[in-house]
Chain A
Amino acid sequence: MAKQRVVIVGGGLAGLSAAMKLAEDEVSVDLISMVPVKRSHSVCAQGGINCCNKFTRSQGDTEWNHFDDTAYGGEFLNNQPPIKEMCDWAPKIIDLADRLGVPFNRSPEGNLAVRRFGGTLYKRTIYAGASTGQQLLYALDEQVRRWETEGRITTYEFWEFLGPIIDDQGVCRGCVAQDMFSLEIRAFPADAVILATGGCGLIFGKSTMSMVCTGGASARAYQAGANYANGEFVQVHPTAIPGADKLRLISEAARGEAGRVWVPRKPGDTRHPNQIPEPERLYFLEEKYPTYKNLVPRDIATREIFAMCRAGYSVDPATYAVYLDLTERATGIKREVLEHKLGAILEIYEKFVGTDPLDEPMKIFPAVHYSMGGLWVDFEADPKTGGLRLDSPRNQQTSIPGLYAIGEADYQYHGANRLGANSLLSCIFAGLMIGPGIRSWLKTVPGGGAAAAASSLFEAAVSKHKDATHQLVNRAGTENPYLIHRELGALMTRNCTVVRVNADLKTTLGELDVLHERWRRSALSDKGQWTNQNLSFTRALGDMLIVAKVIASGALDRDECRGAHYKPEFEIPAPTATEPDELKRQATEWCARYFEQNRKWLKTTLARHTASGPQLSYEPVDVSLLPPRPRTYGVRGADIIEKIWKQQYAGKPMASAGEASPRAALAAN
């Protein structure tokens, strides 16, 4: 029997950790990436990676608290066994990264230093300056290079994934990819294909994401029959700086290290921020959220910033902006300390904006940052631990057998909102964890695997992609793909980000159809056969339009507010009464409506591709470990809601008995 191979597409943290783990276990890996893997988007992650380690433990933290924070932060839309397993593994993952030589910041005693991040009250974020993602990525990149020299990993950099190869049994037998220089298209037969291809921020035009984050690979798997889940959940980060080409992130670590968000109390105050005295500043997050203060989760911080700006408090007349203050005057922390802990982001702000954030407050804006949604993937829970059965071939498997997804490309770990410093963790966790499951899959791969597949299967797949590419290159038309992309970005940013309104979402879907039609009439300005970036971009734009429809239709159908998905039309009004009996009545009603909302909408959105657009269905979320509760983050006035919820709803089962679970049905097949 021929040697089995696994193809991994994407060389960010998820793809690299899967590659090195499989290589260690003597599985041959082909690693395909559009960029040298060392330049993957994971480098942009700044603030840190979460885990409960010995230091946080001494402060009273536990893995369970991390799990609870992750579920609560995601408004319970994340399946609980996978996140429980992830949080349990987190300390071990950090220890491994430390052994691999990641230059984490250290305490005076030489231990790993920690800081606080959003959505938690514990300091459990380990960091390497303000470029933690870069440092982790480099450590994994180095390990992959080590296995390359031993011949266990073959890297194909500047190759682009065009689609999975699926046989007539519906099993994935490899993929087709294109050399981005020579434009050669060839098949990569494999016994499993793992997509670790990241998020889809470019759908929003400008975002904090890198230029490869088009979502193209996920879209290609989706069009080949893989389900897409929770597409409508898109994280808008509260603090970024604008640019003509992209929006650049200013890490949550800035607030984790005591940075404060404020606006002048007098709207339109034209004084320089340093001239505005303390009593005339409105620290609106601190006032409204006395427990979490500036470290409420991102969706909440972003909405509060939006609300302030819409009320006229923006500090920039042209757009929505507020101050993020790291000066010693506001934080009481000396310049040298912050330079040491936040150097990389201070430098980026100064390079792009021209002022020193330790001298005067930064002007920051919200920006699309992360896709919580992604390819639907399976898991197999272990009833003994509440976590996962680690050797199950179902873990991270998409709805196409043999096709897997990990990292930001999947939907599994973050629910309706991702907590800061959980993304690096979820990427490395899924990458390492998938190893044993893939090995189980390889042992039982149906039909003898790729080696037994007819060569005609691969030839047909290659020929299909060659034809499509030929057609695209030679297409005649008057539309310009770059201009369509700008319109797409503006449309999606306007209607599918912080505030969503059904009427606008309906219009958006119509406009997406128009843009898609125009894309079909777009022509390439480069018809050459060497390093044709125009081809890659235009092809990806078609895919972005497909995923944009998944996002917009998911958002339209989901009539509720949950995490990053906020629809004012369906917001449950907060109790406002001052009279105790009336307040209690309002809170009771609030809880009843929230319970009903969970019963109806605490479900994963599944999108299936059809020629006429996405077809949506819903599956229940596994909340077997922690009952859902109102996500208030201690907002002023919420105590009464929490009290009534505890009395009346704690532990009350949500799903009606006998509700069919598509997951169970899939498992049974």
Chain B
Amino acid sequence: MSKLIRLTIQRQDARESHPYAQTFEIEHKPQMNVISCLQDIAARPVTVAGEQTTPVAWDCNCLEEVCGACTMVINGRVRQACTALVDNLLKEQATIDLKPMSKFPVVRDLFVDRSRMFAALKKVRAWIDVDTYGYLGEGPKVEPSVADRRYELSCCMTCGCCMDVCPQVNDGSDFIGPQAIGQAALFNMHPTGAMSADQRLEALMGPGGITDCGNAQNCVKACPKEVPLTWAIGKTGRDTTVHAIRRWFVK
């Protein structure tokens, strides 16, 4: 008889309905991660109490921690379900505990609505305003050290871990969150992006902007991709200050 593993999953049938817990038992397999547990439950959606239920809804796509979709709270810590290996989770606690992310509206079960993060990318104008997609020759030369720092920032997969752990992101605040500040820094560091840096800095000034950061530094610890978020917040904070002073003189 193979080993059984036990999971307690927070269910929620719809956006406005109340959450409840269900416990499942599935067979242990080698190389198991949380995704494969949820797949096994979908194939046989029966609780330990013997109750027939529906498959758990959850968001996922690449399963190799590069798309950012499968973020959830696993054993009390926000992370991706694909890289959460069962054998490691069982060392943390005997029953694996799955809950949806805490700072986003639940759509169903473990599936949350992170559209505010994509809206934030629009707000900070996280793109390069090229003149045309037609052929204009090579791009600007970029110093290798700048390219390397930009690469680190550009590995942000909009997964939401940084938002979930940030004390300033809550129901009573409009704080845009660490991710969007990191992306503003990414584009402000590009030779062409720098030409419109002021617009991104303006977007980060005022309510919900960079000054709402409480410097808890949870974001950088929670980031699965080690995006230098606190570095980006520090740099962008200094840049907004300089921008504000300059704007004050120009007025």
* Residues in A lying within 8 Å of B, measured CB to CB: 20-21, 24, 35-36, 38-41, 43-44, 92, 95-96, 98-101, 103-111, 128-129, 131, 134-135, 138-139, 142-143, 145-146, 148-149, 181, 210-212, 242-246, 248-249, 340, 344, 348, 351-352, 432, 480, 482-483, 486, 525-526, 528, 530-531, 533-534, 537
A-side contacts of B142, CB under 8 Å? 103, 106, 110
CA distance A111 to B195 in the complex (A): 21
CA distance A340 to B137 in the complex (A): 28
Q: Do the beta carbons of A530 and B14 come within 8 Å of each other? A: yes
A-binding segment of B30-38, B207-215, B242-250? B30-38
Q: Mark B125-168, 1 if CB is under 8 A from A, else 0.
A: 11111101101111111111001101100110110000000000
| 8 residue pairs A–B, Cβ–Cβ below 8 Å | A38-B157, A39-B157, A41-B62, A101-B186, A110-B144, A143-B127, A149-B122, A533-B57
Q: Which 3 A-B pairs have the closest CB atoms?
A: A98-B139, A482-B43, A142-B127
Q: Do the beta carbons of A101 and B118 come within 8 Å of each other? A: no
Is B61 interfacial (CB 8 A cutoff)?
yes
CA distance A135 to B156 in the complex (A): 10
Given contacts A20-B133, A245-B33, A351-B65, whether A480 and B60 have CB atoms under 8 Å apart is no
Partner of A242 from the list B31, B52, B128, B157 (CB cut-off 8 Å) is B31
Is B69 interfacial (CB 8 A cutoff)?
yes
Q: How far is the CB of B49 from chain A (nearest CB, A)?
A: 17
A-side contacts of B66, CB under 8 Å? 43-44, 131, 134, 344
A-side contacts of B187, CB under 8 Å? 101
CA distance A136 to B157 in the complex (A): 13
Q: How far is the CB of B238 from chain A (nearest CB, A)?
A: 22
Q: Do the beta carbons of A39 and B144 come within 8 Å of each other? A: no
Q: How far is the CB of B158 from chain A (nearest CB, A)?
A: 6
Partner of A39 from the list B44, B67, B127, B192 (CB cut-off 8 Å) is B67
Is B63 interfacial (CB 8 A cutoff)?
yes
Q: Do the beta carbons of A210 and B67 come within 8 Å of each other? A: yes
CA distance A8 to B75 in the complex (A): 40
Given contacts A101-B128, A432-B133, whether A531 and B33 have CB atoms under 8 Å apart is no
CA distance A79 to B244 in the complex (A): 58
A-side contacts of B128, CB under 8 Å? 99-101, 139, 142
* Residues in B lying within 8 Å of A, measured CB to CB: 13-14, 29-33, 35-36, 39, 42-45, 52, 54-55, 57, 60-69, 82-83, 85, 107-108, 111, 114, 118, 121-122, 125-130, 132-133, 135-144, 147-148, 150-151, 154-155, 157-158, 186-187, 190, 192-193
B interface: dominant SS: loop
Q: Do the beta carbons of B31 and A101 come within 8 Å of each other? A: no
Partner of B127 from the list A108, A146, A242 (CB cut-off 8 Å) is A146
Q: How far is the CB of B136 from chain A (nearest CB, A)?
A: 7
CA distance A149 to B122 in the complex (A): 7
Q: Do the beta carbons of A482 and B62 come within 8 Å of each other? A: no
Q: Do the beta carbons of A211 and B60 come within 8 Å of each other? A: yes
Q: Do the beta carbons of B157 and A533 come within 8 Å of each other? A: no
A-side contacts of B132, CB under 8 Å? 24
CA distance A44 to B64 in the complex (A): 8
CA distance A240 to B37 in the complex (A): 21
